[in-house]
Amino acid sequence: MSKVLLTGGTGFIGSHTAVELLEQGHEVVIADDLSNSSRDVVNRIEQITGKRPVFYELDVADRKGLAKLFAEQDIEAVIHFAGFKAVGESVVKPLMYYRNNLDTSLTLLETMAEYGCRRIIFSSSSTVYGALSPCPFREDSPVGGCSNPYGWTKFMIEKILQDAARADEQLSVVLLRYFNPVGAHESGLIGEKPGGIPNNLMPYITQVAAGIRDHLNVFGDDYETPDGTGVRDYIHVVDLAKGHVAALGYAETHTGTEIFNLGTGKGTSVMEMIRAFEKANGLQIPYVIAPRRPGDLAYSYAETKKAESVLHWKAEKTIEDMCRDAWRFEKGML
């Protein structure tokens, strides 16, 4: 069992990972500046697991604060979730994105080196594959060609981590490329809480279901896909969180860099998702067909064999589970 630092641990994926780690007997320390989450998430993690993670309200780019955390806690591994993640905002404020996402990662790596912590798991994204190769994306498919600064920060941090591992043979780096995480913990206590107008499909659908927005805009119905709408590999956030527990086990016994896709390998179109949500929850989702969103691909889905054979991890939950759990969480917030 390890003592693990989760940067951005009160966020959507971080909080679910905290729950899975605590349930497997690991110790969890969270560092989060609460810029896109709330302190109450710590209480909710405790409510679910009966264990309270240690919490530091901290910007990971704050070198002194981070050093104090490492001095006080005997951190054995880090899962690095902290970062800005709104694609559209990254196009408008690129410098803010590069400064924040790169600064936090560099400060974290330097502080880890100072305190002899040599295991890091990084929240990367399928967005690094860009439009360079056809689906399914494999871990050895070409990367780059990202359509926005957010995606480029993931690409650059991957590169920084790979170079760091090349220079320090004791360092263990695991890059996890997430596909489209959705859903919520089945308790309904933690989930995705976007501030303002949601950018992503599932939180937008749940807000339409809740009456917060009157309809969904379907961004394009003229793609080269079976029904013309975009196809994505949606993965339940609890499955994704379990993937991190598996990656932590891997990092304990290996050095160097390893990359894993975390997806289901199955594609679902926007229209299929609307229908699945309606069926799972007995609701109607009004929608209109809108123009394509710049930067969107027709298809994105994973080749999942590597995570299955090396991490012995596989996503298990269905689209129906994702729709039901996302709605249960949204309802709980009304």
- Please, what is the minimum distance in Å from the beta carbon of residue 111 to ligand UD1? 26
β-bridge partners, 219: 290
Record the tokens describing residue 312, joined without a space.
């012995």
Give the binding site for ligand UD1 (CB under 6 A).
87, 125, 127, 147, 151, 180, 199-201, 204, 216-219, 230, 232, 270, 293, 295-296, 300
How many separate helices (H) and strands (E) can be counted in the chain?
A: 11, 14
DSSP sequence for 200-260: SHHHHHHHHHTTSSS-EEEE-S-SSSTTSS-EE-EEEHHHHHHHHHHHHHHHHH--EEEEE
Nearer to ligand UD1, 104 or 269 (CB): 269
Nearer to ligand UD1, 29 or 271 (CB): 271
CA 186/CA 329 separation, integer angstroms: 8
- Please, what is the minimum distance in Å from the beta carbon of residue 285 to ligand UD1? 11
β-bridge partners, 259: 175
Say whether 115 is catalytic: no
Query: Which among 56, 97, 129, 150 is annotated as catalytic?
Result: 150
In the chain, % helix, strand, coil (3-state, to 5) comes to 45, 20, 40
Nearer to ligand UD1, 69 or 182 (CB): 182
Nearer to ligand UD1, 147 or 162 (CB): 147
Contact assessment for residue 29 and residue 73, using Cβ atoms and an 8 Å cutoff: yes
Tell me which residue has its CB nearest to ligand UD1: 230
Q: Can you say whether the dihedral through the CA atoms of 3, 247, 67, 169 is positive or negative?
A: positive
Q: Which uninterrupted H or E stretch holds 14?
A: helix 12-23
Q: How deeply is 170 buried, as exposed, middle or buried, from its count of CB atoms within 10 A (0-12, 13-18, 19+)?
A: exposed
Nearer to ligand UD1, 164 or 216 (CB): 216
CA 285/CA 210 separation, integer angstroms: 10
Residue 183: closest CA among 316, 85, 301, 84: 316
- Please, what is the minimum distance in Å from the beta carbon of residue 117 to ligand UD1? 27
Nearer to ligand UD1, 49 or 200 (CB): 200
- Please, what is the minimum distance in Å from the beta carbon of residue 85 to ligand UD1? 6
- Please, what is the minimum distance in Å from the beta carbon of residue 19 to ligand UD1? 20
Q: Which uninterrupted H or E stretch holds 328?
A: helix 319-333
- Please, what is the minimum distance in Å from the beta carbon of residue 204 to ligand UD1? 4
Catalytic residues: 150
